Each structure stands twice: as C-alpha cells, then as structure tokens.
Amino acid sequence: MRLLAFLARRIYQSVFVLLGLSILIFIIARILPGDPARTALGARAPEWVVERLREDMHLNDSVPVQYVYWLRGALGGDFGDSLVTRRDVANDILEFFPASFELVLLAGIISGVAGIGLGTLSARHKDTWVDNIVRILSYMGVVTPAFVFAIMLLLIFGLALNWLPAIGRLSDGVPAPPTFTGLMTVDALLAGQLATFWDALKHLIMPAVALSLGALSQEARITRATMADNLSKDYIATARSLGIPERIVMGRFLLKPSLIPTVSILGLDFAGTFSNAFLVELIFNWPGLSRYGMNAMLRKDLNAISAVILVLGVIFITVNIVVDLVVGGLDPRIRLRAARTE
C-alpha cells in the first residue's frame, strides 16, 4: 500500500517535471533564429511551398499555441518529421534506441559488477598493495573523461594491436540476426547464430568498456569507502562476538548496508553513462540514439532534438524512481521515515 502511494506520488511529480522539461526544450528550440520551414525545404523551394509548410508547422502562430500543437502531437507519439532523415521522428527513435540500449546496458552491468567487486576486494585488503592499486586506478577512472578512454582503447586494441574492430555493430558482410529484442548479441544467441554473436560481441566490447570505466571507478570508490567504514562498526563486532561465522558476517551483514550508498548513486551514474554515450557512439560510429541525437543537434533538427531529449527525460526519471525503490528496499530507515512524514 505504501509502495503504491510512493509510486503514485513520484509519477505525479514526474508529470509536472516532464511538462516543465518539454516547455524548456520548446523554448530553447524556438530561440534559434532562422526559418525551420525554409531549412527543411532548401533554398531553391518556391516561396508558396515554404509558406504552406510554415502553416503546417504552425510557425506563424504565437509560441504558446505552437507549444500546444507540439504537445498534443507528442502525447500521441507524433513528434513530427526529422529534417535530416525526412522520416517520422518516432520511428527513427524506435529504430536507433535498441543499439544504445544494448551499449548502455552492457556498460552498466560491467560497471556495477566490476565496480562493486573491486570496491569489496579493496576494502577486504585495506591498506595492502591490492587496495592501493585499486584506489589509484579508480581515481584515474573518475578524472578521465569517457571519450579519452574511448580513444585510448581504440588506439591500443583497435588500431595498434588490431584485436578488436573499431566501427559499427557488425563487420561488413555479416548479416544482422533476426530481431527479437533489438539487442544484436541477444538476438544472435536466440537465433542460434554463434558466429554472428561473436562478431557482435567483439564490436560491442570496446565501446561498452570505455563507457563503463567512469561509473565503475565511482562505484568502486564508494563501495570501498563504505565497506571500510562499516567494518569497524559495532554491529559487525556484535555479530562476530556472538559467534556468527566470518563468511556470514562479511557476506550478509557487511554487504547489505554497504551497498546502499553505491546503489543510491546509480541514478546519477546512469545519467553520466548516457551522457558519455553521446561521444562514445560518435567515436565508434555506433548507430544508436545518442548518435542520432548528436547528429540532430549538429544539424539543428529541432523535431528530433526535442523528441530525443524528452525520451531521455522519461528514461532518466523512470530509472531514478526505480533506483529510489531499490534503495528503499535495501534500507528500511528510508522507507519508515518516509512513511512517517507523509
């Protein structure tokens, strides 16, 4: 019951935030001087055709009216047409989303598993050489932007050693697997095409690793700090002193409370990963949403820009709500305090 109330409240708040976001985007998009209709049709189109398009795009109406038209369309899933691809933006997004999702998902898994794992290892062997190496590496991971990592990986593994391919999702000549989920690796496995799976994986690994390193380092640092802190807490000493075996003390009673701060930042880490994806997709020529959005931004494709930002906003807000739920699940203090103040 409390869960539903919490969800309901968050969704209610999110609606307002999304509304505000859409207004913000709209205002930004309309600041641009110039004539979107003219840009779409080119310099040689006759004036009356351009004027017709202007009417269609409601460009001659006042800004609030334009917003209403746009909003109505957006709610119905119609974001207009892209000036660049000349197709329905909604379709474009659906087409490019899975590639980004595959990338960000793998990056997220790598950073979560490796980050928490390394952090735990580091805390367990606090102040030894293992700990020091992990600390140094994770610090460097935090201060190095993802695109620098991407370029380095590209240089070393892609070009110098030539172990991994540098472009796209599949090599030339390898046919794409049938679409079940849109994630090429998963689809290839489901269809039993092992060779395709390997090829897709080889293309996926470098950008995913480059993308994961920032969040990985963040999570390793926080996990290590929290675990090292919690190791000296009284409740661990109590558990030990009452005869509970060490593996249970470490694996259960230390682990769960130590995960809380790390999970709390997963939302922010996810935002960071998606941001970095914008550049990493460009570097590896990955046909994903970020690259689509990036191209839209460079070419001032307003419909596409607005749509991409709105979609990202929805995704991000959803992820934040999920993260809050998970943290609430882990930490009863948050659940109970929230219930008390509501």
Partner 1 sequence: MAQPSKVETLAPPITRQYVRQLQRRNRMENLGRGWYKFSRNPLSILGAATVLLVTLLAIFAPWIAPHPEHAAPFTNFAHAHLPPSLEYPFGTDEIGRDILSRVIFGFRLSLWMGVVVLALVVPVGVVLGLIAGYAQGTRLDTIIMRLTDVFLAVPPLILALAIASVLEPNLTNSMVAVSLMWWPWYTRLVYGLASTLRNEFFVSSAETMGASTSHILFRELLPNMISPIFTKMSLDMGWVIIIGSMLSFVGLGVQEPTPALGTMVAKGARFLPDQWWVSIFPALAIVAVVLGFNLLGDGLRDLFAGEEV
Partner 2 sequence: MSAPPRLLEVKDLSVHFKVYSGVLKVLDGVNFSVDAGEKVGLVGETGCGKTTTMKAILRILPHPPAIVPKGEILFKGEDILRMKPDQMRRVRGPGISMVFQDPTAALNPVFTIGEQVGPVIRYSSPENRGLSRRQIRQKALVPLQEVALADPERLLDAYPIQLSGGMRQRVCIGMALATNPELLIADEPGTSLDVTIQDQVIRLLGELVERKRTSVILITHSLGVVREMTDRVYVMYAGNMVEVAPTPRLFANPLHPYTRGLMEAVPKLTGGGMAMGIPGRLPSYQHPPPGCRFHTRCPHVMPVCRREKPPLFRVEAGHEVACFLYGPEVERHSSELAA
Per CB under 8 A, which region of 11-19, 80-88, 233-241, 282-290 contacts partner 2?
Answer: 233-241
The residue (of 177 and 267) whose beta carbon lies closer to partner 1 is 267
Secondary structure, 3-state, the chain: CHHHHHHHHHHHHHHHHHHHHHHHHHHHHHHCCCCHHHHHHCCCCCHHHHHHHHHHCCCCCCHHHHHHHHHHHHHCCCCCECCCCCCEHHHHHHHHHHHHHHHHHHHHHHHHHHHHHHHHHHHHCCCCHHHHHHHHHHHHHHHCCHHHHHHHHHHHHHHHCCCCCCCCCCCCCCCCCCCCCCCHHHHHHHCCCHHHHHHHHHHHHHHHHHHHHHHHHHHHHHHHHHHHHHHCCHHHHHHHHCCCCHHHHHHHHHHHHHHHHHHHCHHHHHHHHHHHHHHHHHHHCCCCHHHHHHHHHHCCCHHHHHHHHHHHHHHHHHHHHHHHHHHHHHCHHHHHHHHHHC
How far from each other are the two terminal CA atoms of the chain, in whole angstroms?
13
CB of 117 to partner 2, least distance (A): 20
CB of 30 to partner 2, least distance (A): 49
CB of 81 to partner 2, least distance (A): 51
178 contact choice in partner 1, partner 2, none (CB below 5 to 8 Å, kind-dependent): none
Q: Is 117 exposed, middle or buried (0-12, 13-18, 19+ CB in 10 A)?
A: middle
Among positions 9, 72, 87, 256, the unique one binding partner 2 when judged by CB under 8 A: 256
Site size with partner 2, rule: CB under 8 A: 28
Q: How far apart are CA 251 and CA 63, in angstroms?
A: 58
231 contact choice in partner 1, partner 2, none (CB below 5 to 8 Å, kind-dependent): partner 2
Among positions 240, 300, 325, 328, the unique one binding partner 2 when judged by CB under 8 A: 240
241 contact choice in partner 2, partner 1, none (CB below 5 to 8 Å, kind-dependent): partner 2
Per CB under 8 A, which region of 113-121, 173-181, 232-240, 264-272 contacts partner 2?
Answer: 232-240
Among positions 233, 285, 298, 314, the unique one binding partner 2 when judged by CB under 8 A: 233
Among positions 90, 114, 134, 309, the unique one binding partner 1 when judged by CB under 8 A: 309
Dihedrals φ, ψ of 88, to 5°?
Answer: -60, 125
Among positions 105, 231, 265, 325, the unique one binding partner 2 when judged by CB under 8 A: 231
CB of 178 to partner 1, least distance (A): 32
Q: Which residues, in sequence order, are bridge partners of residue 81?
A: 88
Among positions 84, 211, 279, 327, the unique one binding partner 1 when judged by CB under 8 A: 279
The residue (of 115 and 293) whose beta carbon lies closer to partner 1 is 293
Q: How far apart are CA 222 and CA 165, in angstroms?
A: 33
Among positions 8, 13, 194, 233, the unique one binding partner 1 when judged by CB under 8 A: 13
**Does 321 sit near partner 1 (CB under 8 A)?**
no
- What's the distance, CA 191 to chain centroid? 27
**Binding mask of the shown chain, residues 247 to 276, with x at each position contacting partner 1 by CB under 8 A:** ------------------------xx-xxx
The residue (of 61 and 131) whose beta carbon lies closer to partner 2 is 131
Q: List binders of partner 2 among 97-136 (CB under 8 A).
A: 126-127
Q: Give the CA radius of gyration of the chain.
A: 24
Binding site for partner 1 (CB under 8 A): 13, 16-18, 20-21, 24-25, 28-29, 31-32, 139-140, 142-145, 147-148, 151-152, 154-155, 159-160, 271-272, 274-276, 278-279, 282-283, 293-294, 296-298, 300, 302, 305, 309, 312-313, 316-317
Contact residues for partner 2, defined by CB under 8 A: 126-127, 231-235, 237-246, 248, 253, 256-257, 260, 330-333, 336-337
